[in-house]
Structure formats: C-alpha cells, structure tokens
Amino acid sequence: MNNLQHCKIVIHRFELFLPFGLCVFIQKHIWSHV
C-alpha cells in the first residue's frame, strides 16, 4: 500500500516536471546553438 502510494507520488511529480523540464531543456538546447 505504501509502495503503491509512493509510486503514484513519483508519477505525479514526473507529470508535473515533464512539461517544464522539456521547456527548459529545449531552451538550453536552442541557446547553445545560437
């Protein structure tokens, strides 16, 4: 039960971070080429 709850928290955090993380990653990638 505790393990499943932990899994849900990790997945939720990943879903929140993914769009922001991709945005930052793409921006850094673009700036490094400019």
Question: What string of DSSP letters covers 1-34?
Answer: -HHHHHHHHHHHHHHHHHHHHHHHHHHHHHHHH-
The per-residue pLDDT for 31 is 79
What's the predicted TM-score (pTM) here?
A: 0.35
pLDDT tens for residues 4-32? 887 787 777 777 777 777 778 888 888 78
The per-residue pLDDT for 1 is 55
User: What is the domain range of residue 26?
Assistant: 1-33
Counting the structural domains of the chain, the total is: 1
Residue scoring higher pLDDT (33 or 23): 23
Angle at 26 between CA 21 and CA 14, to 5 degrees: 15
Hey, what are 14's tokens?
Answer: 């990943």
Angle at 17 between CA 34 and CA 33, to 5 degrees: 10
